[in-house]
Amino acid sequence: MKKKQVNVPSLPPPSLLSGFRMEISGNREAVLEGCGGVLEYSEEAIRVRAGKMSVRFTGRNLKIKCLTADSLVVEGYLTGLEFIT
């Protein structure tokens, strides 16, 4: 008796950024969902908590356009993005 093969959709491996979602529009805006808070805020760098990691945006004239319980919008000229464990 032949075994019937079933195609199971492949899931991405679990990441350290669980529940965190980020959408970047060019180099001018980033929308972050599921972030845990602001750790650092200046015109040159913004660091936010994202699950077990933190995400650091660097650039010029950076601003937090909007801040709610689990999301924020970073605006400005983004020049760098770092994931720090």
Residue ranges binding another protein (CB under 8 A) = 37-43, 63-70, 72
Residues comprising the chain, all counted: 85
Nearest residue (CB) to another protein, 37 versus 80: 37
- Residue 50 C-beta: closest distance to another protein, Å: 13
Largest CA-CA distance found in the chain, in angstroms, rounded: 68
- Residue 73 C-beta: closest distance to another protein, Å: 9
Nearest residue (CB) to another protein, 60 versus 65: 65
**DSSP for 13-56, written as a single string:** PP-SSTT-EEEEETTTEEEEES--EEEEE-SSEEEEEETTEEEE
- Residue 43 C-beta: closest distance to another protein, Å: 7
